[in-house]
């Protein structure tokens, strides 16, 4: 994770430097705009992180492994999609978790559905998404991505 | 000032709850705090950079240029550009919403905004690197190749569903 942060930070730094050399005023204006947007979104961000932290406490890793592990079968699909949709786990935690699931006997389909819904469907972030896109678009996007996740899962199970 | 205080009421309560849990040794409270800490570190590791980039993008890329390249008439090239743009980003999906707002403001087509979100959610290069490490190169490549056409299809569907007067709102406090 720190490596990714470093690369992203480096790219940002280079962009800033180039921008600064080209036009000082524009750079400051850009930073001001970015800072304002960050400030506007900071408290919804923090509120969501608090909510997720509490939800995750009630759904520990061991429970996830229990329901998605070996012999979870078709119901595993539904559970994977459900858990993936309602939780929001950072990538650097979800990949080791997915690898654990595979070693516990979960199928590639279940893992693909879990990972895809985790990344693309967000029930806890829905209130924030509605603020940006409106109710109709936010709900449509989540439903379509949920369907896409199941298609991806079925195809992955067939191809792996 | 009062308005800002009201916005942060949950944050303040959470801080009090965590500090309280620490002093009385309330285990569940501490575990919730550890969860929060992980997310918080993730957020501070991408958010400042992301918003600097968004700000610079906003002042440097003129509306006309973006409109021409990822707007309504942009076709395959527009899709290619937004996917590439998304792959170079970092952070969780909720960090992509402000980018979607800037894209929308600059005249990106509805289709391309949602293709961007799809690609952002599961095709970011740093994440693909981690995915290869844990789940293998075959899994990662197959998943990406299956996902991409689905995202593009979802982009077209979203355009039909939300209608042409759709735009992304700026979230204000």
Show the 3-state SS of chain B: CHHHHHHCHHHHHHHHHHHHHHHHCCHHHHHHHHHHHHHHHHHHHHHHHHHHHHHHHHHHCCHHHHHHHHCCCCHHHHHHHHHHHHHCCCCCHHHHHHHHHHHHHCCCCHHHHHHHHHHHHHCCHHHHHHHHHHHCHHHHHHHHHHHHHHHHHHHHHHHHHHCCCCCCCCCCC
Between A46, A99, A155, which is nearest B135 by CB?
A99
* pLDDT tens digit at each of 160 positions of chain A: 456 677 778 888 999 999 999 999 999 999 998 898 888 878 877 887 788 788 778 877 777 777 776 666 678 888 889 988 987 776 666 787 788 778 777 889 999 999 999 989 989 889 889 999 999 999 999 999 999 999 999 999 889 8
**Candidates B56, B118, B170, B172, partner chain A, best to mutate (most A CBs within 10 A):** B56
ipTM over 0.90: no
Closest CB to A98: pick one of B45, B134, B154. B134
Chains A & B: contacts with CB separation below 8 Å: 216
**Does the beta carbon of B23 lie under 8 angstroms from any beta carbon of chain A?**
no
Which residues in chain A touch residue B168, judged by CB atoms under 8 angstroms apart?
132-133
Residue ranges of domains in chain B: 1-48, 61-173
């Amino acid at each position: 994770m720190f490596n990714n942060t470093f690369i992203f930070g480096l790219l940002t730094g280079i962009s800033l430097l180039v921008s600064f050399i080209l036009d000082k005023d524009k750079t400051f204006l850009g930073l001001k705009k970015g800072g304002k947007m960050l400030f506007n979104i900071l408290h919804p961000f923090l509120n969501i992180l608090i909510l997720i932290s509490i939800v995750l406490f009630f759904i520990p890793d061991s429970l996830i492994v229990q329901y998605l592990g070996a012999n979870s079968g078709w119901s595993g699909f539904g559970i994977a999609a459900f858990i993936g949709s309602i939780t929001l786990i950072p990538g650097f935690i979800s990949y080791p978790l997915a690898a654990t699931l595979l070693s516990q006997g979960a199928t590639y389909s279940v893992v693909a559905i879990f990972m895809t819904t985790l990344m693309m469907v967000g029930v806890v972030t829905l209130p924030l998404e509605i603020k940006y896109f409106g109710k109709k678009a936010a709900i449509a996007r989540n439903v379509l991505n949920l369907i896409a996740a199941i298609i991806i899962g079925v195809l992955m199970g067939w191809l792996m | 000032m009062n308005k800002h205080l009201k916005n942060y009421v949950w944050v303040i309560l959470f801080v009090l709850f965590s500090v309280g849990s620490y002093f009385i040794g309330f285990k569940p409270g501490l575990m919730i705090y550890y969860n929060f800490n992980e997310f918080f570190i993730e957020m501070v590791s991408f958010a400042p950079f992301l918003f600097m980039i968004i700000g610079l993008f906003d002042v440097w890329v003129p509306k006309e240029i973006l409109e021409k390249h990822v707007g309504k008439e942009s076709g395959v090239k527009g899709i290619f550009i937004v996917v590439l743009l998304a792959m170079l980003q970092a952070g969780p999906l909720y960090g992509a919403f402000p980018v979607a707002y800037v894209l929308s403001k600059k005249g990106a087509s509805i289709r391309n905004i949602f293709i961007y979100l799809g690609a952002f959610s599961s095709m970011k290069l740093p994440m693909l690197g981690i995915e290869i490490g844990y789940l293998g190169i075959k899994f990662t490549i197959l998943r990406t190749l299956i996902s991409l056409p689905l995202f593009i299809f979802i982009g077209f569907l979203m355009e039909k569903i939300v209608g042409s007067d759709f735009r992304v709102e700026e979230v204000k406090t």
